[in-house]
Structure 1
């Protein structure tokens, strides 16, 4: 072939830039202006539409660049049927014409890479491209085959950066330059990234505090009815937390999938992930709804007070309709967080919490529905926050990643389940251990249960701070991975871990320095206050480990490594935690001290393990898996 191309009727072989990438066609047809007879195999292989023209260079071709790259040997195949051979010749441009065309096509190739690449066309890539072009020009007159080979190598090297052409009307790829925040275009600084984490975390902290405040207000309102009602709603909340941990763990898959798809510029896929996770969670609601309905019978196996168990079981049945609304709220919230919209849920809860609290009071006292009025208010609150968040997404912001309902959401559930199952294990084991601690404390007496309830409530409120930073960190890390900016993802991971240590120390200071004031908010009993003051320093120390553990878990979710967290949680909470807690509390008679010593040991083990894997991750493998997930969707 080289001999043919170097024959006398060819003056020079044009440079590699004369392979024109058609920017108007997403299939990006590859057009050669070589002065050779085209092969019929070329047309049949790529299903190109060709009309008879005067030269091969003028034949309109509708091909797929990726098919050509995978079949590059077809381009220069000399084995042709003589009967089907087209004899067309053209005059190649003079040197001056070639300079002009080369300059224009250089610009076209540059614009093509900048607009159609899934990552930004940075200075390093631009320098590599310039060096390659210079080398090609230097070898222009010595080895004509080098030009084509260099072109193939360049495109293959960056082939994963190019978007696949849409397969149907729903597979839209919006222009990332129009939407992706400017922080994806530049190297991040440590201070700037720390500020970004704080800015993202503040609305999340407000969201979780408002969410817990409604639960807290409901307990206060019901508590004034009677002791049995207070105990019943406490048991019901405990059961709810265990079952809700399954759906919350399911939704953590979106902490990986949605931000990575958004960072890569594939906005429609963000909506597909949201739909898929929501549908799967609603399907799981059917069997777990049965568990919810009969949770009173399950509690009867553990709790001996039949009246309290009966009230708790009825409360569970009344609140069952709220579960689907909470599922949609959780998945939609993560759909927005992937786009950097963290304040939406905060605005919604600012409206819903006062309204639902007032409704709870009116239903319990004014409408004389009593204990069950609180359950009805819980249903109203769930459907209200879901509706408000949908309206916010539809009319304010976040709608750009919604491509409409798609049948794609009913397919390819394997990737989602691979990330969801570890998330379920993480949240379930954590919730299970804390509820077991409460049950063990109840066996020591009412005073110990009151102290345990006080300590658990305080730690739950403080937990919202590192948990918010963990979500913000996971979103940032996943966005950077989707944008193929691994250096920024590494730096964001380190900054998130450092921030967790600072937050843990801050929480420790709050618990130890203000323990007296905090305890007196919950009770006036002097004995309970004294018992709580003795145990609060240990509770404060666990907050440091808890903060690191929580944020490191968020980093692993952003990296798509939930499986590490699930293994660590199962080993830590179930294999180490429950036996150690039982041993220290009963065998060594440490009671509540034994429970909180166990909690500290478990959190240190899990937090250390997750931090190690988050910082020492195989980033190339993480990038490969993220690319595979995005490519699989397209």
Structure 2
């Protein structure tokens, strides 16, 4: 009798287990599908972004390689003008152009396509005017470099090169917004082709001007000018000649309205990213003042060079995350924006872990292609664990910064960066390096754990606890119902 009563219960229990198994299995398959789809969207932006960054960085390396054939003074002048003077201004203008990742990305997600062209024109106006404000950096480069301790011949040559770099300086005002404009609407293929053409043109013109026309460092500066404007005209030609029929409707007087609000967002973006870009540049300047630190600084430069190349990958995720989050917020999909953030963090972190492991495995061979000095190689080997940690943290931090850009949080993230990097990280680095006499390792370690780690943790907490549905409503009312539109 009990068996007869329990039989239906057993059958019902088995049925419930089967149904539950199917639901769980369906949920797992649905999650895999969502991750696959989001990953494809993400890499559609990441891949071209990495390639274009590598190509533009390679143009600078090609220029330095040709300069090295001309002489030590020529190499030093090109390196200083390119890395310090041009790099400072490029970082600021690139950061300001990142405001377009917020505005264009959300407008594209909301299907208000005509606004993308208007936003880009506003960015052209703002960045072009800011370019004029930055002109003294080039005009007074020579006396400033002399004050900073550079030899007279290097300072004068660097100042001359800086003046010939002015065409590149103004190209940034157009190239940076164009790149963000195209990325925001997933027109990334053109970035690859234009970058490829630019690097080929640059190699040929550099060879022509140096070895055929014998123009020297001036010829190298002109070659770099031409190559950067190839990028501008390539992207501009694609945009205005039918490549973006929905988002480019021609020049509009609407671009001159709302410039003040646009300037404030651009300035916040510029400050936010510059505070990040300058942080590890300051590391090299700080360690240069440590007593008997010549070998250590050389080794640190090698480590920063490796870190700079690897950073092309996280910066690609930075751009892609900003676009994906902005697109989904503009479309009113708060949960999708949160999911895109998770997928991007996982992808970038896994790649960071891979490189971290590679650094630790090949720790004693990292400097082979960079230096023949046994002392420098041993110092790089000694610093390898710090390099691995830097790469690991930098695989997460740019993604979270990309979320901030896509969401329009630039202003308060700038305060986070200022506090973590410059009020915590650098002071701790100074204490570890000089007070505790830990030298370069102390400065670098203090800046990693006191600045980068703390900043990454704060951004992660804020991102995790953010109300994404509220974020959708906020962005819709902010960007599409007032002077931004």
TM-score grouping bracket, smaller chain normalisation: 0.7 to 0.9
Aligned-residue offset at 1:516: 4.3
Instruction: Check 1:409–1:398 CA distance in 2 against 1; reply closer, same or farther (3 A cut).
Output: same
Kindly report which structure 2 residues correspond to 1:338-377, keeping only aligned pairs within 5 A, or say none: 338-377=184-223
The match for 2:428 among 576, 580, 589 is 580
Contact 2:325 2:406 in 1 (8 A): yes
Matched, 1:630 2:480: yes
Contact 1:219 1:230 in 2 (8 A): yes
Matched, 1:533 2:381: yes
- The runs of 5 or more residues in structure 2 that have no matched partner are 1-31
Aligned-residue offset at 1:513: 2.6
259-268 vs 579-588, greater mean Cα deviation:
579-588
Contact 1:203 1:342 in 2 (8 A): yes
Matched, 1:598 2:446: yes
Aligned-residue offset at 1:496: 1.7
- Measure the CA separation in 2 of the matches of 1:391 and 1:515: 46
Kindly report which structure 2 residues correspond to 1:93-492, keeping only aligned pairs within 5 A, or say none: 189-236=34-81, 237-395=83-241, 397-444=243-290, 445-492=293-340
For residues 416-447 of structure 1, the C-alpha deviation after alignment (integer angstroms, 9 at most, x for no partner) is 23322221112222232222222233345543
Aligned-residue offset at 1:398: 2.5
For residues 106-138 of structure 1, the C-alpha deviation after alignment (integer angstroms, 9 at most, x for no partner) is xxxxxxxxxxxxxxxxxxxxxxxxxxxxxxxxx
Contact 1:188 1:488 in 2 (8 A): no
Q: Secondary structure at the match of 1:321?
A: helix
Aligned-residue offset at 1:527: 1.6
Aligned-residue offset at 1:202: 1.1
- Measure the CA separation in 1 of the matches of 2:359 and 2:152: 36
Which residue of structure 1 lines up, in the alignment, with residue 355 of structure 2?
507
Q: Secondary structure at the match of 2:277?
A: helix
Aligned-residue offset at 1:623: 1.6
- Measure the CA separation in 1 of the matches of 2:183 and 2:470: 25
Aligned-residue offset at 1:205: 1.0
436-445 vs 254-263, greater mean Cα deviation:
436-445
Contact 2:89 2:169 in 1 (8 A): no
Which residue of structure 1 lines up, in the alignment, with residue 344 of structure 2?
496
Q: Secondary structure at the match of 1:565?
A: helix
Contact 1:255 1:558 in 2 (8 A): yes
C-alpha root-mean-square deviation of aligned residues, in Å?
Answer: 2.0
- Measure the CA separation in 1 of the matches of 2:439 and 2:158: 27
For residues 217-256 of structure 1, the C-alpha deviation after alignment (integer angstroms, 9 at most, x for no partner) is 1112112222222222222212222221110111010110
- Measure the CA separation in 2 of the matches of 1:516 and 1:206: 29
Instruction: Check 1:590–1:218 CA distance in 2 against 1; reply closer, same or farther (3 A cut).
Output: farther
Instruction: Check 1:232–1:585 CA distance in 2 against 1; reply closer, same or farther (3 A cut).
Output: farther
Which residue of structure 2 lines up, in the alignment, with residue 560 of structure 1?
408
- Measure the CA separation in 2 of the matches of 1:567 and 1:474: 19
Q: Secondary structure at the match of 2:367?
A: helix
- Measure the CA separation in 2 of the matches of 1:321 and 1:559: 33
Which residue of structure 1 lines up, in the alignment, with residue 10 of structure 2?
none
Contact 2:314 2:395 in 1 (8 A): yes
Aligned-residue offset at 1:258: 0.1
Q: Secondary structure at the match of 2:137?
A: helix
- Measure the CA separation in 1 of the matches of 2:207 and 2:429: 39
Contact 1:425 1:570 in 2 (8 A): no
Contact 2:86 2:169 in 1 (8 A): no
- Measure the CA separation in 1 of the matches of 2:342 and 2:307: 25
Contact 2:334 2:471 in 1 (8 A): no
What is the aligned length? Answer: 449
Contact 1:564 1:610 in 2 (8 A): no
- Measure the CA separation in 2 of the matches of 1:232 and 1:303: 14
Structure with the bigger RCO (C-alpha within 8 Å, sep 6+) is 2
Contact 1:293 1:320 in 2 (8 A): no
Aligned-residue offset at 1:304: 4.0
For residues 67-116 of structure 1, the C-alpha deviation after alignment (integer angstroms, 9 at most, x for no partner) is xxxxxxxxxxxxxxxxxxxxxxxxxxxxxxxxxxxxxxxxxxxxxxxxxx
Contact 1:477 1:558 in 2 (8 A): yes
338-347 vs 247-256, greater mean Cα deviation:
338-347
- The runs of 5 or more residues in structure 1 that have no matched partner are 1-186
Aligned-residue offset at 1:617: 1.4
Which residue of structure 1 lines up, in the alignment, with residue 463 of structure 2?
614
Aligned-residue offset at 1:396: 5.9
Contact 1:262 1:270 in 2 (8 A): yes
Aligned-residue offset at 1:347: 0.9
Instruction: Check 1:235–1:581 CA distance in 2 against 1; reply closer, same or farther (3 A cut).
Output: farther
Q: Secondary structure at the match of 2:186?
A: coil
Contact 1:584 1:595 in 2 (8 A): yes
Higher helix share: 2
- Measure the CA separation in 1 of the matches of 2:224 and 2:266: 27
